[in-house]
Structure 1
């Protein structure tokens, strides 16, 4: 094992958007047992530090590969596109308008006559839009052209908006209960 490997290699999984999450969890438990710092307690300081680094890398990799959005961002990063820190990327104006409308509905949901129903409807809309973007990403990331890679990156940028909106809906649902 080597922390110079990407997360897919580290976990012994194919470098793909579609992952068997059960296999990922099983592999995580195996590696966690192998790399747990307690197994290295009797060794030198350097070996204990290496164990801690491996464990941190293991946990970071697991969180990344387990999340569809983070996994998509990571696949793009492996191909030289960082969607985490972009501020100048162009996003479809129609999509942005839809996001503004959805955000307004989320903000107004607590005052709605049926706040639970409105939040559930919003959550469903966001989930549907996310599923469509994930399908688009899945198609595009496998294509060898730069245009396909750009389309995959565009899908991920949109997924970031929807993920944030979904978290806001969850927060409001928690506040209502």
Structure 2
């Protein structure tokens, strides 16, 4: 596994070589933390999905017990960026957003017309997820318990599957 961290400019350049509507952006906010096992399952599932992925790096470690100065290693094909969330969501190659469904992230994704893979962590995120998935029909929930196979399947379903097509049509595209 090779860790790849890119500046916002380098990340934008990386995304620009991708076809339009082909990249999944992953950002779990700035507060949530996950175990190393969960992070590894996320990363390997993303790599196995076959989709281009850009993972937002929070200002501090996403992984419980990890040093904030260095992110855990990522599989090839999963890049990490400190880029601005709105800039990434607005980019033409971005087609999906794996989000914690914080209110700002939810509104930004809706504004950009992106499909969401929802994984709420706490507080209002659970209610926001319910609206995203059941009321507004602009996303699907990953669930709290998952492994790399479930992650890969969910990403493919959102980005190229029937569920994603249904959400995309409901979203007016």
Q: TM-score, normalised on structure 1?
A: 0.25
Q: RCO greater where, 1 or 2, for CA within 8 Å and sep 6 or more?
A: 2
Q: TM-score, normalised on structure 2?
A: 0.25
Instruction: Flag the structure with larger Rg.
Output: 1
Specify which structure has the higher proportion of helix. Answer: 1
